[in-house]
Amino acid sequence: MTHLSVNLNKVALIRNSRGENLPDLVQVAKDCEAYGAQGITIHPRPDQRHARYADVSALKEVVTTELNVEGNPIPKFMEVVLQYRPHQCTLVPDAPDALTSSTGWNTIKHASFLRDICIQLREAGIRSSIFVDPIPELVEGARHAGADRIEFYTGHFARQYHADPAKAVHDHVHCARLAAELGLEINAGHDLNLDNLHYYVTEVPQVAEVSIGHALISDALYYGLENTIQMYLHCLDM
């Protein structure tokens, strides 16, 4: 079964809007795990508009499943990651002012840089995952960089899904098979939701983990957090 990692950035965004600690990100993380989530994800950005660097240490103390910290491996990000050692670090090439992550790494152009980062993570006992588009050459590049996993950017899939599901998922299916042959484990994330998630993991059964935040927290406004997590887990139950 593909694991569900709940991205808590939107929870942190609500917290930060009042400058207080409501909702309490640590308590929400503990509750998500109690409700069945198999992982917790945060993506601190340099402006710390939602998840903050300080959240990494706080969550590392309480998360009992897996803590995944995403971000562009700038020096400050790497300093925090190497100090607190989450279970997984997902490398994302977003600009400091990016609204959201919208593309994966060019693993060929940035091969040397990514290789150095993956070495640092491995030496610290942290699983590395490189955010990539489903393009064979870039998957191979991630393997050459020494990544343990890749995370497929699924934004394009989500946008094309309703018009032509088979076409939308085609490149993911092909690249997942290639990744498996290369010995890479596979994660996926971005715009996966209750409408498209089951189809995606059915067609791409190699996916070990999905990271979902925006859609899941939005659904929780209507269904409640516990019920929503169960609904997403049901989508993953093949």
pTM of the entire structure? 0.96
What pLDDT sits at residue 95?
A: 75
Which sequence positions are flagged as catalytic? 43, 70, 190
Check whether 94 has a pLDDT greater than 90.
no
Low-confidence winner among 53-62, 88-97, 130-139 (lowest mean pLDDT)? 88-97
Check whether 10 has a pLDDT greater than 70.
yes
Check whether 67 has a pLDDT greater than 70.
yes
What pLDDT sits at residue 103?
A: 84
Domain carrying residue 126: 3-236
What pLDDT sits at residue 53?
A: 97
Spacing of C-alpha 200 from chain mean position: 15
What pLDDT sits at residue 99?
A: 62
CA pair distance 88, 68, nearest whole angstrom: 5
Q: Does an H or E element contain 220, and which?
A: helix 214-223
What pLDDT sits at residue 101?
A: 62
Domain count across the chain? 1
Closest C-alpha to 194, from 170, 209, 212, 168:
212
CA distances from 157 to 129, 167, 171, 192, 197 (A): 20, 9, 9, 9, 11
- Cβ count near 64 (within 10 Å): 10
pLDDT tens for residues 125-161? 999 999 999 999 999 999 999 999 999 999 999 999 9
CA pair distance 158, 40, nearest whole angstrom: 22
What pLDDT sits at residue 150?
A: 98
Q: Please give the mean pLDDT across all residues of the chain.
A: 96
Q: Which amino acid is at 15?
A: R
What pLDDT sits at residue 70?
A: 97
Spacing of C-alpha 39 from chain mean position: 10
CATH of the domain at 70: 3.20.20.70
> What is the phi-psi region of residue 48: left when phi exceeds 0, alpha when psi lies from -120 to 50, beta otherwise?
left
pLDDT tens for residues 159-209? 999 999 999 999 999 999 999 999 999 999 999 999 999 999 999 999 999
